[in-house]
Amino acid sequence: MTDLQAVKLESKKTSGFKKFLRWLTFISIVVLIVIFWWKYYYVFGEGVKSGELNYVVKKGNVFKTYEGKLIQSGFRSKAAGTVQSYEFEFSVENDSIANVLMNNSGNYFDLHYKEFKGAIPWRGYSEFVVDKIITMKAVDR
């Protein structure tokens, strides 16, 4: 065996390991991207919540997001002997929806929301993101 043949044989051995490492890295990156998408961008559920809008504020240190709270009518008891009101805390991505909500605080709303498995800073602090106002009614006082 000549020196040239030995070098070719050695390069084939290392290229197989390098090929394995490249595939392992590629598959790992794809798996991490899928997990990130599933945790933060996959819509886990969606629905409608109704109640009196308590507040909507724009806040945040780096990412300014709209956060709000809707007080639903009725009371529920999480534990025996206690009473707690329904509160639905949510985030809003759309500026125009947030402005309508901020200008009509105290009114009765039906809000459509999407539920995610996790919150991300540029979308808001809540896993619940309001994406549509279905109806708005003035509250009789």
Alpha-carbon distance values, 64 to 16, 40, 74, 121, 123 (Å)? 49, 18, 32, 9, 9
Pick the residue with more confidence: 89 or 10? 89
User: How far is the C-alpha of 133 from the C-alpha of 101, rounded, in Å?
Assistant: 9
- Residues 104-127 have pLDDT tens digits of 988 999 999 999 999 999 999 999
> Residue 138's pLDDT band (boundaries 50, 70, 90)?
confident
Task: Write down the pTM of the prediction.
Answer: 0.74
3-state percent helix, strand, coil for the chain, nearest multiple of 5: 35, 40, 25
Let me know: does 121 contact 96? Beta carbons within 8 Å: no
**CATH class of the domain comprising 43-137:** mainly beta
